[in-house]
Amino acid sequence: MPGYEEVTPCLEWLRPYVRQCGNSPRGNWKMERRRLLDFLLVYIEKGSGQFTVGPNGYDASAGDLFWIPPDTEHSMEGTGGVMVCPYIHFDLIYRYPESHWEFSIPSGVNNLDDYTPMAHPAIPESLFSRIPGRSRLYNHRQIGSLINTVCREAAVAHEAHTMALSGLMMQICTEILRGLNGKNETENERYIAVMEAASSFVQNNLAEELTVRDLAENANLSEAYFRRLFAAQYGLSPGRYIRQLRIARVKDLMTYTDNSLSEISLLCGFADVHSLSKAFKKAEGVSPREYRKFGRNLVFTSGREKAYPG
């Protein structure tokens, strides 16, 4: 049947809705066993700890993704010093007005009987049934980047940001399902670790001058071969990948800090504010100053303002 694939039936009911998200660094922290009314997605960007999802316990380390369905007992703990673990609370099926509740479920709460009408409805048997627990996926960096984009989009709260968040969640779900299917052992597969190392180097050195030739030499590959392998893994040329990461870092700094545009330009590898503004306008369609005008935030991006009822 044209246009049909295994995931197609999900389109009949999949309507993501982001309720809460955040990506602030944490010191040692602990969430005692609890259950949730919605889904929780956590990406371990930095640090280590221990998670449980249902009856299963996991060591958590950088690159791990945890998918926790509603009404699933779980616990989380960061034990390795500073931990960066961006997270999203969300519904896979948006319902009005049932989806619009505004409170957090704190550590140690397991009885949700009083809040049954707010609970996420059961979802049809689907590919999402394979996700709960920890996943270690070849495309975890793409997923982590999308999760951070959700956090940033929620914090900036530009017009129609709830629609943008729903679209981003569709992309995240797509990448997770692709990651679960894995890759066949190919030439590209053998170089995943090398490309991951190159990506990490770029992310840690955005303030410096970065050339594809230098990245290829660090990987002990020819420039042409490096470009081909990098594009196969990330779907972008190395140069475009660097530009996108720089713009993303600019948006992060404008969203979460009071740094001036001059300071941000230096931190993100731009020669001056003019260069930053020109690249930003080309990528985003608005100037950095226009982007920095926050809208009305409808998604909680840190602790809930309203206490857990009862």
* DSSP string across 234-295: HSS-HHHHHHHHHHHHHHHHHHH----HHHHHHHTT-SSHHHHHHHHHHHHSS-HHHHTS--
Q: Which of 175-189, 211-225, 228-242, 251-265 has the largest mean confidence?
A: 211-225
Q: 300 in a domain, yes or no?
A: no
- Distance in angstroms (rounded) separating the CA atoms of residues 291 and 267: 18
Look up the pTM and report it. 0.83
Q: Is the pLDDT of residue 309 over 50?
A: no
Q: 90 in a domain, yes or no?
A: yes
pLDDT in tens, 77-93: 999 788 999 999 999 99
User: 199 and 126: one domain?
Assistant: no
Structural domain count of the chain: 2
Can you give the CATH number for the domain in which 133 is found? Answer: 2.60.120.280
Question: What percent of the chain clears pLDDT 70, i.e. is strictly above it?
Answer: 91
Q: What is the average pLDDT across 23-40? A: 93
Provide the pLDDT for residue 7: 76
User: 161 and 286: one domain?
Assistant: no
- Residues 112 and 93: beta-carbon distance below 8 Å: no
Q: Of 181, 200, 224, which residue sits at a domain end?
A: 181
User: 210 and 270: one domain?
Assistant: yes
Q: What is the average pLDDT across 108-126? A: 87
Residue range(s) defining the domain that contains residue 263:
187-291
Return the closest-CA partner of residue 169 out of 190, 154, 185, 191. Answer: 154
Can you give the CATH number for the domain in which 215 is found? Answer: 1.10.10.60
User: 39 and 177: one domain?
Assistant: yes
Q: 1 in a domain, yes or no?
A: no
pLDDT averaged over every residue in the chain = 87
Provide the pLDDT for residue 159: 82
Tell me which H or E stretch contains 144. helix 140-156
User: 205 and 83: one domain?
Assistant: no
Q: What is the average pLDDT across 283-304? A: 72
User: 64 and 119: one domain?
Assistant: yes
Q: 296 in a domain, yes or no?
A: no
Return the closest-CA partner of residue 50 out of 74, 72, 68, 73. Answer: 74
Q: 286 in a domain, yes or no?
A: yes
Provide the pLDDT for residue 202: 93
Q: Is the pLDDT of residue 307 over 80?
A: no
Q: Of 128, 151, 181, which residue sits at a domain end?
A: 181
User: 144 and 226: one domain?
Assistant: no
User: 177 and 272: one domain?
Assistant: no
Q: Is the pLDDT of residue 304 over 60?
A: no
- Residues 232 and 225: beta-carbon distance below 8 Å: no
User: 226 and 171: one domain?
Assistant: no
Q: 273 in a domain, yes or no?
A: yes
Task: Please indicate whether residue 200 or residue 67 has the higher confidence score (pLDDT).
Answer: 67
